[in-house]
Structure 1
Amino acid sequence: MASTTHDSSTPAKRRSIGSMLRRLLPRFRRKVRAVTRRETPSMLRRRRHSRRHSPLTRRILLLNIVPVALLALGAVYLSDYEDELIDAELASLLVQGEMVAAGIGEVAVIGGETTVNRLDAEAARQLLTRLVRPTGVRARLFSEAGELLGDSAVLSETGRIHVSPLPPPEEPVEPPPQRWADRIGDWLGRQLSRSDRFPEYVERPAPTLRDFPEAASALRGFNASAVRIMADGRLLLSAAVPVQRYKQVLGALMLTRDNRAIAASLREVRYDMLTIAVAALGITVLLSLYLAGTITQPIVRLARAADEIRLARESRPEIPDLGKRGDEIGDLNDALRSMTEALWLRINTIESFAADVAHELKNPLTSLRSAIEVAARPTLEPEQRARLMAIVVQDIERLNRLISDISDASRLDAELMRGEVKTVDLKSLLGDMVKHYGVIAAQKAGVEVELRLSANPPYLAHGHDGRYGQVFRNVIDNALSFSPHGSRLLVELSREPRNGPFVVTIDDEGPGIPEDNLESIFQRFYSERPSEHFGQHSGLGLSICRQIMETYGGSISATNRRAADGRVLGARFTVHVPAAA
């Protein structure tokens, strides 16, 4: 009854488990897809898109254009130079005024040295007109009492006929056209000039001395000047000097002139400096583009080549050769080419290693399969079955040893790169190793292991004691496997002259190494041993030894020791270890 109940409940449980699995399976698939999308490598990422304008080019242009732009702004803003021109113009007006005032004081004065002197108004007006008209300035003459005696703007020479050509009646009078550059220059000058600091000039119908403080200062015997701004934005420069005779101030002469000459000088200077700035800007832009091209174009080529290498499947693209540049980009190119070559070599090594591993694993697996198939026959004798099972055990041990050595070899590169480099005492390392192998070799093979020191202390090497110990163990194990019973194995430590590297030689008395295989023995999975040692070695030991020594800057090689008659006395392995000091 219980059995019947159990049988009937089993399908129900199976159905419930199946339905639960059907519910969980879609969730699991969605999670797997999500994880797969998150963990998909970037090998199939889209190619690098080409930019129309390089950001690096824009930065180079900006950095090179800013100083030229500042120069152009400095050319536009010439307030200090304008002040110097104004000061020079005021000084020129004072000099002209002193000359005109001296002439008036000598010619247009009534009185003598012993009488009271006064200005002859009519003579002063005529002389004022004659002296001032060629200079193009406006002159005003004030009496000692402050009255305006004459103004060159309204005076004319007696008897002189003034002729002014008039245009035809049908043609309107038009001012001469002004160049657009001059208009722009005048507008910039008015905008940038600090004219708001000057008082405003007002043209009065009947000006008095109170309208011109500089003229009042001249009546007190002092030279004075002033700058005012007119309604059209131009500046009016004025200079006043006293008119004297025998140290007596008889009046004041004031000369005025606008700043059109100053504006023209500023406009010419701005035009010249802006022309230079534009030319410098053009040259700067061209040189910046050339400089950016010499920097960005090689980098773009290198980036595209790197993408092609990353996305390559069957072909083998190369990094373009830019090493002839002789600059940092050339150094970067050389480094990338070296890195690419190292990567291709590493990939080829991995592929060759995988092929060698597959081949080496296939042999014991084939032997295992054959032994198991034969052992499974029912008609096989017990003794034959026992021998076949012993072969199976040996092949399993061989596979285990082979897999362990392959795992060690595959991890060796990463461990060597992460390994710490320190000082190693070779005497202590070799002494402990010889002492250990002396006991084991004497018990198992009857071989004597001896250490000989042929170098002076200290025995400090550069590297890692654990890896050097692995090298010496592999070499000694290899030598012991070929050493006959009752022979001697000699380990000698010496050093090359002139503080060269240490030299460790390991000599055995075995059959030696075929001359054609002195380099082949350092290849992966190479193994040529006596039959009693078959299957006990994977053929990776000496390959690992060479890899370790080359990583730390040393080397390992093999030769045969020969007698005087050419007879082989045994094999010699020579290990060069870099010295610490």
Structure 2
Amino acid sequence: MTNSTKLKPYTESDTAIRKSSRWFRIGSHRGDIEQLFDLYWGGKERRITGLTLRIIGVNIIALVSLLLGVIYLGQYHSILIESKVKRFETEIILVAAAISEGAISLEVQEGDVVSFLSSSKVRNLSARLGATLGKRILIFNTEDKMVADSKVIIESNSIQPIFTVVEEEKRQFYSVQLLKDTAGWIVSLFPRYKQLPPFPGVFSNDAFHYTDVIEAKGQKLSISAWRDMKGEVILTAALPIVSDSEIVGVVMLIGDNEAISSAMADVWFNILKIFLATLFITILLSVYLSGVIARPLRKLSKAAENVRRGKLKHTEIPDMSERNDEIGELSIVLRDMTSALWERMDTIEAFAADVSHEIKNPLTSLKSAVETTKIVKKKEDMDKLLMVIEHDVDRLDRLITDISHASRLDAELSREAFDVVDLKGMLGNLLNAYKSPLEREDISEVNNDRALKDGVMIMLDFKNVPDVHVLGSEGRLMQVFQNIIANALSFAPVKTKIKILVEIKANRVTISIEDEGPGIPENQLENIFERFYSERPEHEEFGRHSGLGLSICRQIITAHNGIIYAENKMDRSGGVMGARFVIILNIDQ
């Protein structure tokens, strides 16, 4: 007899226990939201998982980055325009104040002191201020005639600014300039937010051609926005020049469109920078997703392929259970599946070796008997040899039949659908099988019953246990109890008892079957469940049992997520009073 590797079958509960804490639940009540989840996400089991949260988080990060950039640019754009308008307003006020203080002359007319604009002072001051501010200044007198144009005066007289702010020259890299040019080109493709009236230009010396000047004559500040031929924004403003509460003229300030265009180009350059930064972040996050999803899957795929080729054992499949997401769950299932496959292969290999060993014994005996028939001459000896041959043939037939049943058992159990089994009724029917037809009764009506078989009393005791239901195959469970009772009958002496005791402990039911036979050697309590183990009583004919009965019992109970083990029943002095087989099954809730 050889030792065979015992297979631990894979069950759904093994993985279910480990994954039960990994799924987030929305709630225990089924409402409209849960029905939507069931409809679109395929059921309530898998809702928002760890992997789902990672994907959502990555997308949210990219969107938040873009949102922050848009918010920043929107605020910057508003602040820029507001600051330009305020600055323009301040400049026109300062220019009007400067002209009012430095370009006013007085003269006496009909006994009154009259203020008027000095032509020379106005021309000189407007040119100096225009050169300093970098803007065009137009001056109109009370007769609505232009008396000074800073641009014309500067170009004809080379007027220098009052002061010059020397700014440090910034080094402009080619890549930065390229980005700015790209931003400008992109901006040129977009439509303008608001259509502005075309700038009429400076084409007349009459004030009524300039709307800002006309409005400023009403002693109020007037600011307007225009667009030039290139579509750039130009700001204009006009303010009356006041001396001693009298309007002596109007000053008009025309902004430099290049300043606004440059500022807007910087804004769009910032937009492009934020876009590129967001794109870079998105690429990094995509690489991260590739790392946390694709790379582990690739590792698992490669490991599974190596297992298929026989290059790896199940222990070499990456363990990613610490991830607490679907990929971690996949690694657990792959490891369990591969472990079950390797154990199944080891079991098949050991089973093949055991079968070879067990079949070889009767074949050797049969061969020896056949060879001996050639040399025997007495009829009595020939009859004995024929009996040996017949016995070995029967033994081979029985052994092959049992091996066939055992080899198909795993496949049949995996395909068999489990139903709710009434344990009380099943054991009652089992006991009725050992009675004569007239003695049989409905076991559901009583808690205790007994039957006499081959001089041995079989007693069933439910200990006032209510109806007990388990999930399984009634035929297979019946086979287990029949095998164990048959085994007990073969060892139990005449006029002894076999007791079947049923008890409930927590959510499990325990069925104990004990006899009053010689018991089991302590060192064989586990080995008796191995294939082809055979330890029969002395009075039994050799070869009547294949040694597969208890092994089949363990296979069936294990497939039902149950436990089966053997122990000896001891008296107070420590003596063996018989054997006890204990079966533990889960109660169907």
**TM-score, structure 2 as length reference:** 0.70
- Counting only pairs closer than 5 Å after superposition, residues 398-477 of structure 1 correspond to structure 2 as 398-439=395-436, 445-477=454-486
Q: Which residue of 1 aligns with 2:339?
A: 341
Letter in 2 for 1:97: I
Residues 1:255 and 1:407: Cα distance change in structure 2 (over 3 Å): same
Residues 1:162 and 1:256: Cα distance change in structure 2 (over 3 Å): closer
Q: Which residue of 2 aligns with 1:85?
A: 80
How far apart in 1 are the matches of 2:549 and 2:253? Answer: 109
1:477 alignment partner, SS class: helix
- Counting only pairs closer than 5 Å after superposition, residues 4-403 of structure 1 correspond to structure 2 as 81-82=76-77, 85-101=80-96, 104=99, 107=104, 119-120=116-117, 122=119, 124-126=122-124, 128-129=126-127, 132-155=130-153, 180=174, 181-182=176-177, 185=180, 188-189=183-184, 192=187, 197-201=195-199, 203=201, 206=204, 208-209=206-207, 211-231=209-229, 234-243=232-241, 251-268=249-266, 289=287, 292-293=290-291, 296-312=294-310, 316=313, 318-320=315-317, 322=319, 327-328=324-325, 332-370=330-368, 381=379, 391-403=388-400
- Give the drift of 1:431: 2.0
The one-character-per-residue Cα deviations of 1:148-198 (angstroms, maximum 9, x if unpaired) are: 22212233799x99689xxxxxxxxxxx99864457526734752666934
Residues 1:557 and 1:542: Cα distance change in structure 2 (over 3 Å): same
Which one of the candidate residues 517, 533, 551 is aligned to 2:559? Answer: 551
- Give the drift of 1:227: 2.9
Higher mean C-alpha displacement, 385-394 vs 214-223: 385-394
Residues 1:211 and 1:509: Cα distance change in structure 2 (over 3 Å): same
Answer yes or no: is the 8 Å Cα contact 1:305–1:318 preserved in 2.
no
Answer yes or no: is the 8 Å Cα contact 1:64–1:284 preserved in 2.
no
Residues 1:503 and 1:277: Cα distance change in structure 2 (over 3 Å): same
- Give the drift of 1:548: 2.0
Letter in 2 for 1:437: Y
Structure 1: unaligned runs, 5 residues or longer: 1-58, 165-175
- Counting only pairs closer than 5 Å after superposition, residues 526-545 of structure 1 correspond to structure 2 as 526-530=533-537, 531-545=539-553
RMSD of the alignment, in Å?
A: 4.6
Answer yes or no: is the 8 Å Cα contact 1:481–1:533 preserved in 2.
no
How far apart in 2 are the matches of 1:257 and 1:424? Answer: 94
Answer yes or no: is the 8 Å Cα contact 2:117–2:249 preserved in 1.
no
Q: Which residue of 2 aligns with 1:56?
A: none
Answer yes or no: is the 8 Å Cα contact 2:434–2:453 preserved in 1.
no
Structure 2: unaligned runs, 5 residues or longer: 1-54, 162-169, 438-449
Q: Which residue of 2 aligns with 1:4?
A: none
Structure with bigger RCO (C-alpha 8 Å, 6+ apart): 2
Q: Which residue of 1 aligns with 2:514?
A: 507
Matched, 1:488 2:497: yes
Answer yes or no: is the 8 Å Cα contact 2:96–2:239 preserved in 1.
yes
Answer yes or no: is the 8 Å Cα contact 2:127–2:151 preserved in 1.
no
Answer yes or no: is the 8 Å Cα contact 2:514–2:578 preserved in 1.
yes
The one-character-per-residue Cα deviations of 1:131-151 (angstroms, maximum 9, x if unpaired) are: 555433211123445432221
How far apart in 2 are the matches of 1:113 and 1:430? Answer: 138
- Give the drift of 1:478: 0.8
| Higher Rg | 1
Higher mean C-alpha displacement, 482-491 vs 433-442: 433-442
How far apart in 2 are the matches of 1:90 and 1:505? Answer: 96
How far apart in 1 are the matches of 2:110 and 2:520? Answer: 138
How far apart in 2 are the matches of 1:74 and 1:430? Answer: 76
- Give the drift of 1:250: 5.2
How far apart in 2 are the matches of 1:192 and 1:428? Answer: 85
- Give the drift of 1:538: 1.8
1:309 alignment partner, SS class: helix
- Give the drift of 1:543: 0.8
Answer yes or no: is the 8 Å Cα contact 2:511–2:582 preserved in 1.
yes
Answer yes or no: is the 8 Å Cα contact 2:144–2:207 preserved in 1.
yes
- Give the drift of 1:323: 5.2
Q: Which residue of 1 aligns with 2:586?
A: 578
The one-character-per-residue Cα deviations of 1:523-565 (angstroms, maximum 9, x if unpaired) are: 1011222453433322111011122223333322223334556
How far apart in 2 are the matches of 1:264 and 1:109? Answer: 43
- Give the drift of 1:468: 2.1
2:557 alignment partner, SS class: helix
Letter in 2 for 1:561: K
Higher mean C-alpha displacement, 341-350 vs 85-94: 85-94
Higher mean C-alpha displacement, 560-569 vs 350-359: 560-569
Residues 1:544 and 1:272: Cα distance change in structure 2 (over 3 Å): same
The one-character-per-residue Cα deviations of 1:435-456 (angstroms, maximum 9, x if unpaired) are: 2224499887232222223353
- Give the drift of 1:349: 0.4
Q: Which residue of 2 aligns with 1:520?
A: 527
The one-character-per-residue Cα deviations of 1:186-220 (angstroms, maximum 9, x if unpaired) are: 67347526669344446556454465333233345
The one-character-per-residue Cα deviations of 1:275-306 (angstroms, maximum 9, x if unpaired) are: 67666766775676466446544443333222
How far apart in 1 are the matches of 2:403 and 2:80? Answer: 91
**TM-score, structure 1 as length reference:** 0.70
How far apart in 1 are the matches of 2:142 and 2:521? Answer: 132
How far apart in 1 are the matches of 2:154 and 2:182? Answer: 35
Instruction: Report the identity percentage.
Output: 37
